[in-house]
Amino acid sequence: MAIATRALTKRYRDVLAVDALDLDVRRGEIYGFLGRNGAGKTTTIRMLLGLIRPTGGQVEVLGRRVQPGTTISFARVGYLVETATAYPNLTVRENLDIQRRLTRAPRAAVADVI
């Protein structure tokens, strides 16, 4: 499987953003997430990429279990956002660090920009 999730869950305090998602995407398949605002699309993708920690469940990308701090090979996993934006629940430093990780810039780049 290119992507496999089992009981993938994310909760933000009292809000259940993703509820026990089981998903299998085979190599060569293309999937898109569609839904209204707040449906959990971005949260799911961010968990797949290791950018945020799931509350429960597990993720595997290209046969490798994704854990907090895991570096995903972005050359092999695509992520296209509808509109570029900052995440309002994150600090400036955290928002910049997401972009740094996506572009594989050195850690010092965030401090240089700030």
Nearest CA-CA partner of 2 in 99, 73, 70, 56: 73
* pLDDT at residue 25 in the model: 93
* pLDDT at residue 80 in the model: 62
Residues 58, 94 share a domain: no
Residues 87, 39 share a domain: no
Residues 7, 31 share a domain: yes
* pLDDT at residue 4 in the model: 95
* pLDDT at residue 84 in the model: 62
Residues 54, 26 share a domain: yes
Residue ranges of the chain with per-residue pLDDT less than 70: 68-84
* pLDDT at residue 72 in the model: 61
Burial of 35 per CB tally in 10 Å (0-12, 13-18, 19+): exposed
Q: What is the pLDDT of residues 82-92, one digit of tens each?
A: 666 777 788 88
Print the domain residue range for 108. Answer: 83-114
* pLDDT at residue 68 in the model: 65
* pLDDT at residue 59 in the model: 92
Indicate left, alpha or beta for 77 from its phi (over 0: left) and psi (-120 to 50: alpha): beta
8-22 burial, b if ≥16 CB within 10 A, otherwise e? bbbeeeeeebbeebe
Residues 88, 50 share a domain: no
- The count of structural domains within the chain is 2
Residues 101, 54 share a domain: no
* pLDDT at residue 8 in the model: 96
What's the angle, vertex CA 90, arms to CA 96 and CA 98, rounded to 5?
30
Helix (H, G, I), strand (E, B) or coil at 31: coil
Burial of 99 per CB tally in 10 Å (0-12, 13-18, 19+): middle
Residues 100, 72 share a domain: no
Residues 97, 66 share a domain: no
The domain that contains 55 carries what CATH number?
Answer: 3.40.50.300
Residues 40, 68 share a domain: yes
